[in-house]
Structure formats: C-alpha cells, structure tokens
C-alpha cells in the first residue's frame, strides 16, 4: 500500500515587503555607511555582492525584475 500525500497549501503570489530576502547573517552588515544603490540614502547593509543596499530596496528591485520578466514572457511567449 502506498502512502497518500496531503494537499499543499496554495501559493500566495502577492509580494509583501520583508519576505523575500533573509539578511540575518552578519555578512550583510558593514561598519561603514554608504549610499544605497537603489534609493541613495545611507545604509550599513550590503547585498549578496557586497553593494550597499537597504533590504526593502533590494526586495522591491527583485519584485520589479520578476514582474518585467513575466510581462516579457507573456508578450513574446518566451523569455
């Protein structure tokens, strides 16, 4: 007899700020304040490429990039 799998919860496609990136690791912190690459305001935070960026700014940029890719896919039928 095989085991049955339960149904998965539906995926919530709605973007909510603060949920995409996990920057709890200390590698995302710098003692030096530099301007955010997205908004220009000073920040101690660094993204995965060690560029200065606020977490919310980086998440907004990722969400925008994903939306643009999705729109391009629907427009052309491919990426």
- pLDDT tens digits, residue range 56-79? 999 889 889 888 888 888 877 655
The pLDDT, as a whole number, for residue 14 is 60
Q: Considering only residues 15 and 53, tell me which one the structure prediction assigns the higher pLDDT.
A: 53
For residue 26 the two structure tokens come to 């200390």
CA-to-CA dists, residue 75 to 12, 13, 79, angstroms:
24, 20, 9
pTM (two decimals): 0.65
pLDDT tens readout for residues 14-46: 656 556 678 888 888 999 999 999 999 999 999
Other residues' Cβ atoms within 10 Å of the Cβ of residue 64: 11
Going from N- to C-terminal start, the domains of the chain cover 26-76
Q: What separation in angstroms does the CA of 3 have from each of 6, 9, 62?
A: 10, 19, 39
Mean per-residue pLDDT, 6-21:
60
> Taken in order 21, 27, 28, 29, is the CA torsion positive or negative?
positive
């Amino acid at each position: 007899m095989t085991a049955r799998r339960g149904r998965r919860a539906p995926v919530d496609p709605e973007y909510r700020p603060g949920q995409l990136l996990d920057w709890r690791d200390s590698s995302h912190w710098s003692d030096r304040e530099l301007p955010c690459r997205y908004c220009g305001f000073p920040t101690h935070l660094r993204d995965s490429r060690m560029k200065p960026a606020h977490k919310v700014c980086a998440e907004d940029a990722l969400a925008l990039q994903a939306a643009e890719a999705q729109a391009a896919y629907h427009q052309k039928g491919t990426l």
